[in-house]
Amino acid sequence: MRPGKPGLRRARSGRHYRVTMPEKIEGHGGDLVAEAIRVHGIDRVYTLSGGHIFPIYDGLHTRGMRIVDVRHEQAAAFAAEAHGKLTRSPGVAALTAGPGVINGMNAVVSAHFNGSPMLMLGGRSPQARWGQGSLQEMDHVPIFASVTKRAETVFDPSQIAERTSAALDVASERHRGPAFLDFPMDTLFSRSEVAVPTAVRNGDAPLEGDVDAAVRLLGEAERPVVLIGSDVWADGAEKAARQMIETLQVPAFMNGMGRGIVPADHPLAFSAARGQGFARADVVFVVGTALDFRIGFGSFGDAKVVHVADDPNNVGHHANPAAWVAGPLTAALEALARAAQKDRSDWIAELRGVEQEKRAGFTADLQSEAVPIHPARIYGELVPRLARDGIVIADGGDFASYAGKFIDVYEPGGWLDPGPYGCLGISAGYALAAGLLYPERQVVVMLGDGAAGFSLADWDTLVRFNVNVTLVCGNNGIWGLEKHPMKFLYGYDVAADLRPETRYDQVMTALGGHGEMVNDPSQLGDAVARALATPGPSLLNIVTDPEIAYPRSALLA
């Protein structure tokens, strides 16, 4: 929304909404950035210091807004991405020109893949000297253009508030994602007087696609399943999803931020039976997630696929869906809930049988007495001690894959994984955002030893902000998810070993947190309990068996 006269405007839905006259404020560029962020209801910015962005700090500081500063920009940017995932309004990172901005790049790409609302603000060398070789003089915008919804440089000081506000709105619009703005130093230090626009909310746009066909397919299906993905949570459609599933008695699987929308102990929630569910279904409804490698590219044997996406551009036409629907997911799920009802108790009972059988098959590993410790045993000790509203973050290869298999989620917003971009090193930033947003909840990171190396300097940040987080490191001394496949393909492996038994626990204690190393499975339970009970950050360094590879079947490409 541009600043302007008060009055009625027409929304995309055709409805009208009232526009209030925004107040004018006078200030430097940082004031205007901070004000635009503040009026969007966002109270904090993640950052690492750099002179190019000092006015933004001043703008935030003088408004009493929170500045969360880290040790490597990737942590600030991943914190902003996690903030977006958890709060469903944009997380904001402010990074200094050149290397600062580029260090945050992977989180922007992750937000692009994950549909996470996020705004990255960058410093930029002064326009008055452009081309003369200022420090860190580079054009970020073309680099960010292909992985953001909007990437632009704001040259005019009087446009700063408006462009910042518009970038936040763009990031929040379906299909959500990252936006990037940078400000030349001379622009950011200049003063102007402008009106700061208020936030624009997502309207109830009409549904596109063939709603009737989707409803008919659901009404007629004998053995439907639904997969609920991250966009259902991001779009605030979790109640509609649960209602549809319960009304029509459709077995539900969940991935990404969709996990927990139907609590893991609900009669219609399934996870271990996923292979069988997809193989035996006659129609698979995929709602709010891409038809990508995580779900066999949307090809489910003989089953038809119906794709429900939050935006027409996100429909997976490659899978030739029998029907597709695109638009607000609450409306889409409410439409599906009007399908004809059917008795599906036999189908549900069949899947429940499979679920129970598969879960019974996990028990031996979860309780394994083996030395070195079986990675599954760690989950065997952790899972019973997790709070129902805990937040679990998975960062690593094989060790993190076990998290997806063994950790049950009971509330939406309780699970954070890197998503289909699969970037190692998310966890310090993700934990920082989660722990500061929800200090009263358990935050637990399931961390590979390889993944640990990407972000361990930011354990210092977790200590400095006294974030209540437990890092559980499965230390097999290898890049397991790479070593085992390479050995399988070539008969040997290179570049896949780490040093065995590295003392990551001592890194944590040196930085001021709680750390323990565990070699003996019988000591594990008590160590987990101690770590969870210790305020502030703690790290369990658990030496696991490098011979054990996660049993994997997904086709990555």
Ligand X SMILES: Cc1ncc(C[n+]2csc(CCOP(=O)(O)OP(=O)(O)O)c2C)c(N)n1
For position 73 contacting ligand X by CB under 6 A, the verdict is no
Q: Which does 424 bind (CB under 5 to 8 A by kind): ligand X, Mg ion, none?
A: ligand X
For position 449 contacting Mg ion by CB under 5 A, the verdict is yes
Q: CA neighbours within 13 Å on the CB side: how many for 277?
A: 27
Q: Which amino acid is at 480?
A: G
* Omega before 372 within 30 of 0, i.e. cis: yes
Minimum CB–partner distance for residue 100 and ligand X (Å):
19
Closer residue to ligand X in complex, CB, 277/546: 546
Q: Which does 233 bind (CB under 5 to 8 A by kind): Mg ion, ligand X, none?
A: none
Residues 6+ apart with CB under 8 A from 114: 81, 85, 230, 256, 419, 420, 421
Closer residue to ligand X in complex, CB, 425/537: 425
Closer residue to ligand X in complex, CB, 451/467: 451
For position 395 contacting Mg ion by CB under 5 A, the verdict is no
Which of these ranges, 145-153, 289-297, 360-368, 390-398, lies near ligand X under the rule CB under 6 A? 390-398
Which one of 312, 422, 512, 536 is in contact with ligand X (CB under 6 A)? 422
# of chain residues touching ligand X (CB under 6 A): 19
Residue 528: other Cβ atoms inside 10 A: 25
> Helix, strand, coil % (nearest 5) of the chain?
45, 20, 35
Closer residue to Mg ion in complex, CB, 137/365: 365
For position 171 contacting ligand X by CB under 6 A, the verdict is no
Minimum CB–partner distance for residue 278 and ligand X (Å):
24
Q: Which does 398 bind (CB under 5 to 8 A by kind): ligand X, Mg ion, none?
A: ligand X
For position 480 contacting ligand X by CB under 6 A, the verdict is yes
Closer residue to ligand X in complex, CB, 19/423: 423
Minimum CB–partner distance for residue 446 and Mg ion (Å):
12
Which of the 8 DSSP states describes residue 173? Answer: S
For position 448 contacting Mg ion by CB under 5 A, the verdict is yes
Mapped onto helix, strand or coil, the DSSP state of residue 13 is coil
The interface with Mg ion within residues 476-495 (CB under 5 A) comprises: 476, 480
Q: Which does 445 bind (CB under 5 to 8 A by kind): ligand X, Mg ion, none?
A: none
Which of the 8 DSSP states describes residue 21? Answer: P
Q: Which does 90 bind (CB under 5 to 8 A by kind): ligand X, Mg ion, none?
A: none
Instruction: Report the run of H or E that residue 94 belongs to, with start and end.
Output: strand 91-95
Closer residue to Mg ion in complex, CB, 310/449: 449
What is the C-alpha separation between 58 and 64, in angstroms, rounded? Answer: 10
**334 burial via Cβ count (<10 Å: 0-12, 13-18, 19+):** middle
Closer residue to ligand X in complex, CB, 321/448: 448
- 97 in Cβ contact with 123 (< 8 Å): yes
For position 449 contacting ligand X by CB under 6 A, the verdict is yes
Which of these ranges, 86-94, 119-127, 327-335, 474-482, lies near Mg ion under the rule CB under 5 A? 474-482
The interface with ligand X within residues 290-349 (CB under 6 A) comprises: none
Q: Which amino acid is at 291?
A: L
**512 burial via Cβ count (<10 Å: 0-12, 13-18, 19+):** middle
For position 372 contacting Mg ion by CB under 5 A, the verdict is no
Q: Which amino acid is at 51?
A: G
Q: Maximum CA pair distance of the chain?
A: 73
Which one of 162, 169, 238, 398 is in contact with ligand X (CB under 6 A)? 398
What is the C-alpha separation between 44 and 151, in angstroms, rounded? Answer: 21
For position 419 contacting ligand X by CB under 6 A, the verdict is no
For position 450 contacting Mg ion by CB under 5 A, the verdict is yes
β-strand pairing of 191-195 with 24-28: antiparallel
For position 77 contacting ligand X by CB under 6 A, the verdict is no
Q: Which does 121 bind (CB under 5 to 8 A by kind): ligand X, Mg ion, none?
A: none
What is the C-alpha separation between 330 and 336, in angstroms, rounded? Answer: 10
Report the sign of the C-alpha dihedral through residues 370, 375, 380, 384, in that order: positive
For residue 164, give the nearest of 42, 19, 16 by alpha carbon.
42
What is the C-alpha separation between 496 and 401, in angstroms, rounded? Answer: 18
Mapped onto helix, strand or coil, the DSSP state of residue 448 is strand
Which of these ranges, 50-58, 79-87, 218-226, 420-428, lies near ligand X under the rule CB under 6 A? 420-428
Which one of 168, 232, 386, 481 is in contact with ligand X (CB under 6 A)? 481
The closest residue (CB) to ligand X is 448
Minimum CB–partner distance for residue 481 and ligand X (Å):
4
Closer residue to Mg ion in complex, CB, 185/424: 424
Closer residue to ligand X in complex, CB, 221/446: 446
- 279 in Cβ contact with 301 (< 8 Å): yes
Closer residue to ligand X in complex, CB, 381/395: 395
Q: CA neighbours within 13 Å on the CB side: how many for 171?
A: 36
- 316 in Cβ contact with 298 (< 8 Å): yes
What is the contact surface with Mg ion in residues (CB under 5 A)?
A: 448-450, 476, 480
Residues that bind ligand X (CB under 6 A): 396-399, 422-425, 448-451, 474, 476, 478-482
